[in-house]
Chains A and B, each alone.
Chain A
């Protein structure tokens, strides 16, 4: 057919613009097609007569073309809370050289949490009262909530606390006392 002849002429292996007659730059290069890894088109479109037949639903890189941003965000959305595992928060203590991390979901309430903190950092926390905070110790357990504010541990119900606590900090000394008095 005319078309294929024209095509043949046009795609003779050379670098000039089609139409300009130049000696071929290279003698015909054998097109050594590496077998494409997942599928194959023979001339007749029949699939895989390849040595390595692809596994039936092998995931191809970058296909379907869903943006990685979208994939990451969507996956996060699909995860339900129960699949997420624990609520891990960092715990720092004033003066300690490094931080620790604990899983708030593991504890049933404030007493257990405070006990764990005492053991972890080897100190004692005083007695909690709504009016005066923690009395009888230089240390006060505090936490940063979702709004970025620093709160005294123990003021809100436990369930609400573990949902809103972002990190814990055991404050020491005068700074700590400032928090426990009403009117900082």
Chain B
């Protein structure tokens, strides 16, 4: 006789309780409690996040979670951003859309990152999901404005269309006119990546004017400065706005019109865009600066004095993205004006120049670390660094959770002592106990990895380039970093020993990327043979890896855990290492 626990809840009650649990991790934990909880939970899971589209197949997801309304998928490895992943590598979303079209007719949200999206996929989305609301294509490619037209025309309840940083084939600006006059549901529209000058501005104006809930609007470069005022006046409720081209001849009436339009936006907290800025137009923003929490000036080629003036008007700033034109002096001003700053990203204006073109050094970052007590996230490109500065930063800001430092010239030592920067980065991992993401640069030996393995217990993502001396470095990281999920390495002398000795660790991580390292083809084959739950993919564009001796190092290696087995959509330059020395291709 089956004993039913006297105190068990009816399924409906459990479902109700579970509906309050939104985080993926917690949901996964719930499903591990017992079989019946797993069963109940899977029927009421509405959101799924798949960090690697090849880790699982669409059918498996659909089988386990039959009632999903929202899906988020990531495709290519992060280093694809820097052209290290050849075109055609993969990350196609069409198979997913095709399966979901049948299985999830009520799907509402699709969020993709670094995936290849075709017009066919977009048309299929438009056709298949009657209640489709949210499409986010982050750093995607493969589609054109024709696909966007299909989405615009068919999705009657579209709330979000966000194409951030995607590469779109701009065939015609008229796709915007495909939004029917009845579409009033837009909350967020980001077309900043559209490069051509062909955006139908009148269609855009009308669309903006009839969507009273529009909160976020990011225009593309084609929209000229004089048009901004018209747009803003139709959407004074905006919270987030991305300008187009912010340059024009200074004309008093255009200026005052613009300033007036900005000041009428009482909710505006976040600004971006600012391609080609004419500094004389920046004061048009002054009325909203006191409310600004996020400012992205990372395309604005304006100099430090203008940046300082602007930033000093923004005491509530929490997030600033800027070019290194800001210089140390600008960062010192930032440190004294913006006490709420949580995130700072400083990008290089001349990354390939041999000599520094601006006066931005480690001093700027030290100043911000001292002056901004809430600073948590840093991305900083500079040309010199010292252990002393890093130690100071670490001691000032133990609350850092993301620290990405790029010293432009590989293997640059401490400029004061000419020593490696091991001690400096060591201090970062030692003091910043909640550090989740770290990118290294400069001259580094195996010692830095010893520190990272010892102290980086919460580290989830590590990026390494031109660092280390031997396998010991890699071994420290793989054996010490308990929370490691993503590891990406380029141009380091790490080879077979550390990789094979820590093979089991790889099953606990999402992925490992190694390029221009010293891992042999033989080791890759061995790993692929012995670890069936890993996909071990060798990428080589010049020749097949088995045309050389087994001891030869492979060019690029991408290892990821998967329950779907090897993939079959690989291009000719990718080989999966499979069972019994058979190489699948």
* Cβ-defined contact, A17 with B526, below 8 A: no
Question: Which B residues are CB-close (under 8 A) to A96?
Answer: none
With an 8 A cutoff between CB atoms, is B290 at the interface? no
Instruction: A41 to B139: give the CA distance in the assembly, Å.
Output: 35
With an 8 A cutoff between CB atoms, is B11 at the interface? no
Give a binary string over B326-350; 1 marks a CB under 8 Å from any A CB, 0 the rest: 0000000000000000000001110
Question: Which A residues are CB-close (under 8 A) to B523?
Answer: 29
With an 8 A cutoff between CB atoms, is B491 at the interface? yes
Instruction: A47 to B443: give the CA distance in the assembly, Å.
Output: 11
A76-B195, A77-B276 are contacts. A61–B81 as well, Cβ < 8 Å? no
Nearest CB in chain B: distance from A73 CB, A: 6
Give a binary string over B286-307; 1 marks a CB under 8 Å from any A CB, 0 the rest: 0000000000001101000000
The one of A11, A31, A39 in contact with B410, judged by C-beta atoms closer than 8 angstroms, is A39
The one of A15, A25, A36 in contact with B516, judged by C-beta atoms closer than 8 angstroms, is A36
* Cβ-defined contact, A148 with B173, below 8 A: yes
Which of B253-261, B363-371, B548-556, B575-583 lies at the binding interface?
Answer: B548-556
* Cβ-defined contact, B351 with A66, below 8 A: yes
With an 8 A cutoff between CB atoms, is B14 at the interface? no
* Cβ-defined contact, B198 with A31, below 8 A: no
With an 8 A cutoff between CB atoms, is A60 at the interface? yes
A34-B518, A148-B173 are contacts. A63–B82 as well, Cβ < 8 Å? yes
With an 8 A cutoff between CB atoms, is B174 at the interface? yes
* Cβ-defined contact, B501 with A10, below 8 A: yes
Nearest CB in chain A: distance from B204 CB, A: 9
Instruction: A34 to B551: give the CA distance in the assembly, Å.
Output: 10
Nearest CB in chain B: distance from A130 CB, A: 24
Question: Which A residues are CB-close (under 8 A) to B298?
Answer: 70
Question: Which B residues are CB-close (under 8 A) to A166?
Answer: 197-198
With an 8 A cutoff between CB atoms, is A62 at the interface? yes
* Cβ-defined contact, B222 with A36, below 8 A: no
Which of B117-125, B232-240, B464-472 lies at the binding interface?
Answer: B464-472
With an 8 A cutoff between CB atoms, is B203 at the interface? yes
Instruction: A62 to B526: give the CA distance in the assembly, Å.
Output: 29
* Cβ-defined contact, A62 with B84, below 8 A: yes
Q: Please name the residue on chain B nearest to A167 by beta carbon.
A: B198
Instruction: A50 to B495: give the CA distance in the assembly, Å.
Output: 20
Residues of B within 8 A of A (CB-CB), count: 76
Instruction: A14 to B502: give the CA distance in the assembly, Å.
Output: 10
Give a binary string over A64-76; 1 marks a CB under 8 Å from any B CB, 0 the rest: 1111111101101
Q: Which of B377-414 contact A (CB under 8 A)?
A: 381, 406, 408, 410-411
Q: Which of A46-86 contact B (CB under 8 A)?
A: 47, 57, 59-71, 73-74, 76-78
Question: Which B residues are CB-close (under 8 A) to A47?
Answer: 411
Instruction: A65 to B503: give the CA distance in the assembly, Å.
Output: 28
The one of B197, B224, B493 in contact with A33, judged by C-beta atoms closer than 8 angstroms, is B493
A11-B501, A18-B501 are contacts. A148–B83 as well, Cβ < 8 Å? no
Question: Which B residues are CB-close (under 8 A) to A29?
Answer: 496, 520, 522-523, 551
* Cβ-defined contact, B177 with A148, below 8 A: yes
Question: Which B residues are CB-close (under 8 A) to A37?
Answer: 516
Q: Please name the residue on chain B nearest to A25 by beta carbon.
A: B526
A7-B472, A11-B501, A26-B522 are contacts. A148–B82 as well, Cβ < 8 Å? no
With an 8 A cutoff between CB atoms, is B504 at the interface? yes
With an 8 A cutoff between CB atoms, is A127 at the interface? no
* Cβ-defined contact, B351 with A148, below 8 A: no
* Cβ-defined contact, B469 with A69, below 8 A: no
With an 8 A cutoff between CB atoms, is A149 at the interface? yes
* Cβ-defined contact, A30 with B83, below 8 A: no
* Cβ-defined contact, A66 with B139, below 8 A: no
A10-B501, A11-B501, A32-B553 are contacts. A41–B493 as well, Cβ < 8 Å? yes
Question: Which B residues are CB-close (under 8 A) to A36?
Answer: 491, 493, 516
With an 8 A cutoff between CB atoms, is A94 at the interface? no
The one of B301, B479, B501 in contact with A77, judged by C-beta atoms closer than 8 angstroms, is B301
* Cβ-defined contact, B475 with A148, below 8 A: no
Question: Which B residues are CB-close (under 8 A) to A2?
Answer: none
The one of A15, A33, A59 in contact with B518, judged by C-beta atoms closer than 8 angstroms, is A33
Instruction: Name which of A13, A41, A57, A68 has the most chain B CB atoms within 10 A of its CB.
Output: A41
Q: Which of B220-247 contact A (CB under 8 A)?
A: 221-222, 224
* Cβ-defined contact, B201 with A146, below 8 A: yes
Instruction: Name which of B202, B463, B469, B491 has the most chain A CB atoms within 10 A of its CB.
Output: B491
With an 8 A cutoff between CB atoms, is B111 at the interface? no
Residues of A within 8 A of B (CB-CB), count: 50
Instruction: A72 to B505: give the CA distance in the assembly, Å.
Output: 38
A61-B83, A65-B81 are contacts. A148–B495 as well, Cβ < 8 Å? no
With an 8 A cutoff between CB atoms, is B482 at the interface? no
Q: Which of A1-33 contact B (CB under 8 A)?
A: 4, 7, 10-15, 17-18, 25-26, 29-33
A66-B347, A148-B202 are contacts. A34–B552 as well, Cβ < 8 Å? yes
Question: Which A residues are CB-close (under 8 A) to B460?
Answer: none
Question: Which A residues are CB-close (under 8 A) to B82?
Answer: 61-63, 65-68
* Cβ-defined contact, B503 with A15, below 8 A: yes
Give a binary string over B483-522; 1 marks a CB under 8 Å from any A CB, 0 the rest: 0000000110101111011111000000000001010101
* Cβ-defined contact, A67 with B406, below 8 A: no
Nearest CB in chain A: distance from B418 CB, A: 11
Q: Which of B564-578 contact A (CB under 8 A)?
A: none
Question: Which B residues are CB-close (under 8 A) to A60?
Answer: 410, 491
With an 8 A cutoff between CB atoms, is A45 at the interface? yes
Q: Please name the residue on chain B nearest to A79 by beta carbon.
A: B276
With an 8 A cutoff between CB atoms, is B79 at the interface? yes
Instruction: A17 to B502: give the CA distance in the assembly, Å.
Output: 7
Instruction: A7 to B381: give the CA distance in the assembly, Å.
Output: 35
* Cβ-defined contact, B526 with A33, below 8 A: no
Instruction: A71 to B552: give the CA distance in the assembly, Å.
Output: 34
Q: Please name the residue on chain A nearest to B164 by beta carbon.
A: A69
Residues of A within 8 A of B (CB): 4, 7, 10-15, 17-18, 25-26, 29-34, 36-39, 41, 43, 45, 47, 57, 59-71, 73-74, 76-78, 146-149, 166
Q: Which 9 pairs between the two chains have the least Cβ-Cβ distance? A: A62-B82, A148-B200, A11-B497, A11-B501, A32-B551, A67-B81, A147-B201, A15-B530, A69-B165
Beyond A18-B479, A77-B301, 13 extra complex contacts between A and B, CB < 8 Å: A15-B531, A29-B522, A47-B411, A62-B84, A64-B351, A65-B465, A66-B381, A68-B83, A69-B81, A77-B276, A78-B301, A148-B177, A149-B202
A-B contact pairs, 11 of them (CB 8 A): A11-B475, A26-B526, A41-B468, A64-B406, A66-B347, A66-B381, A69-B81, A70-B299, A76-B221, A146-B224, A149-B202
Residues of B within 8 A of A (CB): 79, 81-84, 139, 165, 167, 173-174, 177, 193, 195, 197-198, 200-203, 221-222, 224, 275-276, 298-299, 301, 347-349, 351-352, 354, 381, 406, 408, 410-411, 420, 439, 443, 445, 463, 465-466, 468-469, 471-472, 475, 479, 490-491, 493, 495-498, 500-504, 516, 518, 520, 522-523, 526-527, 530-531, 549, 551-553
